[in-house]
Structure 1
Amino acid sequence: MPSRVIYGKGAFQEVGKQTKILGKKALIISDPIMEKVGIVEDCECLFQTANILYSKYLGVDTEPTDIHVKDAMKVCSDEGCDVIVAIGGGSCIDTAKAVAVLMTNGGTVADYFGTQKKFEKKPLPLIAAPTTAGTGSEVTKVTVITDTKTDVKMMIASSELLPEVAIVDPNLTLTCPRNVTAATGIDALSHAIEAFISKKAHPVTDTLALSAIEKIMLYLRRAYNDGQDMEARDKLALGSMLAGAAFSNASVALVHGMSRPIGALFHVPHGISNAMLLPVVLEFTKDHTLERLAVIGRQIIPESKDKTTKELADCVIHEIKKLCLELNIPNMKTYGLDQKRFKRVLSKMAHDAISSGSPANNPVVPTHEEIINLYEMCYDYNFNVELNMSTQ
């Protein structure tokens, strides 16, 4: 966990004070959307009130790339910034993590991906303020950056990537559109479920993951249907943070391993690609993790006390399918992935998924061919048909 976690409505008002503790000149890393909705301006006003010098890099896109990192590093170096403040979703925070650590260790993100090379120096101090309830990146030691030369999402995990301060203010998520609320909410749910069924799970991460699952399943629909529902936004922000802490310590598994290549090659937002995969991957994994899924069932289905372990596992997957349907989660075909190109890159996607390491944490580790089959099942997966079949 970060050294300091500041949580609650109005917590963002602390950004000036916390920045002043850590450095003399801040680099705000964010994106054009955060600028448009006024959150970047709010940060600037708080800096001005606290007499803090700052510069801005607002070029982050929906999926962070090595180009974003390089461009932000240039601003950081040219402006002499010594503390970084990330405002936005996981893309902004992941970019900021990479910038913070490379500014002191040198090189590029690719130098530290899939190699034994480690970060040897402390990063620039980083403050992370999430504006979505999804990635949990504000409390994780992970960054995922796309290599634009190879179309590979580079996932790097290291304690040096952990922010110094996490400021989690549910008010910042009120501007989040419905589709983003849905995608990031399912992303957080995927984090929590995968942390709970991961081979690396342990009692502490179990506690975090179960609490996150309960909150997300209970409040995600409400936030989706009414973006100004403050109680729902509050519980989702907390659930997302707990899920982030859970998977940062227990790792994610097959869903995330398969999700990253979809984002890298087809530029599908990470939360949506997770949602496209989650029900199918859970069906594939179910028989190898019945007991764990049953525990989730007892947590989220109050009337489940008389059900068998298998019935509970089936109910959990049914509830997740139902949630995806209600949140209008598209399959890959509906989203617009070209089928011919999709088939051409299936083998590469399966290879990249396995190479990421995440599938190895799954209760059952799939082969290259099994991953290809799972991708093909997900391409035109119909949540509505599957739900009707499971209730017959």
Structure 2
Amino acid sequence: MTMPSLQINESLFDGCDFFESESSRTQLGEVFRFDRRRILFGEGALKSLPEECRLLKATRIYLVRDPALGDLSAQVEAVLAEGGLQVVVVDTDVVPNPTVASVDGLAARLPAAQDFDAVVAVGGGSTMDSCKVAIAVAANGGSVPDYFGFDLFEQAPDWPLICLPTTAGTGAEASRVSVVATDQGKQAIYDDHIQPRVAIVDPDLAAKMPPVLTATTGLDAIGHALECTASTKSTDLGDAVARESLRAGLPFFERAVTTGDRASRRQMSRCSILAGLLLSPINTGAAHALGYGIEKLSFLRGKPVPHGTAVALVLPGVILHNAPAVADKYYYAAGVAGVELDGVSREEGIRRVAAWIDGLRRQHTPYGCLRDADLRSADIPAMMEIGLQVRRLLDPNPVEVTEADAEKIYRAVL
């Protein structure tokens, strides 16, 4: 049975509408892009994997998976086998926060492997980003840093990529952007040649995520939606998608973390994939940029803060910083989150949703503040130096972030 694709599948965009805000409307003469490949969404979508491989004329599979998946990997392999497909390689040599060395290594292993005709990536954002970049580097030669920037791959990959996310947060399965860690910080590649041919988003694949992982990946997805809608690159179409992402994620986040029931898992997967669709045409902002400062320094100190949690540490401060420019969007998020708004000003409503997000992180992750990652006041200049270099995210932030602003945001979570 062929699973329907995104535009008619599983009510993924049920209720999508548009912000009534001049800041989000596409102006006369303005052009914006919206990227989409084939996306299948819904419980049981995993069963469509063999048919999707056949549509790509693939019968021999190079499977790349997170080494911690265990039974879930066996489930994917069983579905492929039942569909008459052969897994010729199972590659588990991927790392969290992929590095130049790890991705270059995968790019070298691919052409050296047995004959295969498709790559299937099963895991979180690190696994999917590793595969997205590696198959393009393998086809074009050189090393990952040769392609940092925009549209530098000349040749399409030799093999199609199918991504199956096992978390609900990064949205990497839906975008033409991947991030790789370097000694200088995280660098990004934007290119059509790294966008997966097919994304199969089966919420049941995320069902075994422990509460802390559910929280940190969910906070990342919510951060994507909030930052994309606040961006100066936002569009009416992008805002419609961001709004629906928030409607899926904000009300269901705590249920997904505390009970993990199937309905809440589904909604967090919707939140993730919808926000992921925005990462290529719009992208995130200051919270992700400043979050990189926390990630890198905490890693160097031997107590790495997960990506989504690092973003969530600074997101409340960024919301308050950006509020004068995009108050309508944050106020909408406050209402969707269920924050009490009766009788309060718009400014107070925004403060309340910022405090609510801060509370989610404090309650559901080990990082209530920077000190929980052994980061102190003396570390703020180093975090600022890292975060303020990420111009690709800071430039479209709706309000300029100065050194003084960045310091204030970091100090708020010491």
User: TM-score normalised to the size of structure 1?
Assistant: 0.88
Which residue in 1 is equivalent to 2:282?
A: 250
**Superposed displacement of residue 54, structure 1:** 2.5
Q: Take 2:361 and 2:375, find their aligned partners in 1: how far apart are those partners?
A: 22
Q: Take 1:367 and 1:306, find their aligned partners in 2: how far apart are those partners?
A: 34
- For the 8 Å contact 2:176–2:190, the answer to whether it is kept is yes
For 2:288, give the aligned amino acid: H
Which residue in 1 is equivalent to 2:147?
A: 112
**Superposed displacement of residue 329, structure 1:** 5.1
Q: Take 2:107 and 2:60, find their aligned partners in 1: how far apart are those partners?
A: 14
- For the 8 Å contact 1:272–1:329, the answer to whether it is kept is no
Q: Take 2:98 and 2:381, find their aligned partners in 1: how far apart are those partners?
A: 24
Q: Are positions 1:52 and 2:86 aligned together?
A: yes
Q: Are positions 1:195 and 2:228 aligned together?
A: yes
**Superposed displacement of residue 83, structure 1:** 1.7
Most deviating of 198-207 and 256-265: 256-265
- For the 8 Å contact 1:142–1:161, the answer to whether it is kept is yes
Q: Take 1:25 and 1:68, find their aligned partners in 2: how far apart are those partners?
A: 24
**Superposed displacement of residue 136, structure 1:** 0.9
**Superposed displacement of residue 373, structure 1:** 3.9
Matches within 5 A, 1:85-124: 85-114=120-149, 118-123=152-157, 124=159
Unaligned runs of 5+ in 2: 1-34
Structure 1 residues 100, 320: closer, same or farther in 2, change over 3 A?
A: same
Q: Take 1:128 and 1:183, find their aligned partners in 2: how far apart are those partners?
A: 20
- For the 8 Å contact 1:19–1:83, the answer to whether it is kept is yes
Q: 2:295 aligns with which of 263, 266, 271?
A: 263
For 1:243, give the aligned amino acid: A
Q: Take 1:174 and 1:224, find their aligned partners in 2: how far apart are those partners?
A: 11
Partner of 1:257: helix, strand, or coil?
A: helix
Q: Take 1:331 and 1:325, find their aligned partners in 2: how far apart are those partners?
A: 4
Which residue in 2 is equivalent to 1:42?
A: 75
Q: 1:225 aligns with which of 246, 249, 258?
A: 258
**Superposed displacement of residue 264, structure 1:** 3.3
**Superposed displacement of residue 346, structure 1:** 3.2
- For the 8 Å contact 2:107–2:134, the answer to whether it is kept is yes
Matches within 5 A, 1:114-153: 114=149, 118-123=152-157, 124-147=159-182, 150-153=183-186
For 1:83, give the aligned amino acid: A
Q: Are positions 1:333 and 2:366 aligned together?
A: no
Partner of 2:278: helix, strand, or coil?
A: helix
For 2:372, give the aligned amino acid: Y
Structure 1 residues 211, 286: closer, same or farther in 2, change over 3 A?
A: same
Q: Take 1:364 and 1:329, find their aligned partners in 2: how far apart are those partners?
A: 30
Which residue in 2 is equivalent to 1:323?
A: 360
Which residue in 2 is equivalent to 1:75?
A: 109
For 1:187, give the aligned amino acid: D
Matches within 5 A, 1:349-364: 349-354=386-391, 357-364=392-399
Most deviating of 65-74 and 167-176: 65-74
For 2:101, give the aligned amino acid: I
For 2:148, give the aligned amino acid: F
Q: Take 2:197 and 2:240, find their aligned partners in 1: how far apart are those partners?
A: 23
Q: Take 1:152 and 1:200, find their aligned partners in 2: how far apart are those partners?
A: 24
Q: Take 2:287 and 2:111, find their aligned partners in 1: how far apart are those partners?
A: 37
Give aligned pairs, total: 371
- For the 8 Å contact 1:140–1:248, the answer to whether it is kept is yes
- For the 8 Å contact 2:320–2:350, the answer to whether it is kept is no
- For the 8 Å contact 1:89–1:131, the answer to whether it is kept is yes
User: TM-score normalised to the size of structure 2?
Assistant: 0.83
Structure 1 residues 45, 180: closer, same or farther in 2, change over 3 A?
A: same
Most deviating of 299-308 and 214-223: 299-308
For 2:121, give the aligned amino acid: A
Higher helix share: 1
Matches within 5 A, 1:237-316: 237-265=269-297, 266=299, 267-301=304-338, 304=341, 307-316=344-353
For 1:353, give the aligned amino acid: V
Q: Take 2:218 and 2:342, find their aligned partners in 1: how far apart are those partners?
A: 27
- For the 8 Å contact 2:44–2:202, the answer to whether it is kept is yes
Which residue in 2 is equivalent to 1:177?
A: 210
Partner of 2:412: helix, strand, or coil?
A: helix
**Superposed displacement of residue 158, structure 1:** 1.9
**Superposed displacement of residue 168, structure 1:** 0.4
Q: Take 1:46 and 1:216, find their aligned partners in 2: how far apart are those partners?
A: 29
Most deviating of 118-127 and 344-353: 344-353
- For the 8 Å contact 2:293–2:384, the answer to whether it is kept is no
Which residue in 1 is equivalent to 2:4?
A: none
Q: Take 2:399 and 2:142, find their aligned partners in 1: how far apart are those partners?
A: 36
Q: Take 1:338 and 1:297, find their aligned partners in 2: how far apart are those partners?
A: 30
**Superposed displacement of residue 104, structure 1:** 1.5
- For the 8 Å contact 1:111–1:117, the answer to whether it is kept is no
- For the 8 Å contact 2:224–2:279, the answer to whether it is kept is yes
- For the 8 Å contact 2:290–2:384, the answer to whether it is kept is no
Structure 1 residues 291, 329: closer, same or farther in 2, change over 3 A?
A: farther
**Superposed displacement of residue 313, structure 1:** 2.0
Q: Take 2:151 and 2:400, find their aligned partners in 1: how far apart are those partners?
A: 27
- For the 8 Å contact 2:66–2:94, the answer to whether it is kept is yes
- For the 8 Å contact 2:377–2:411, the answer to whether it is kept is no
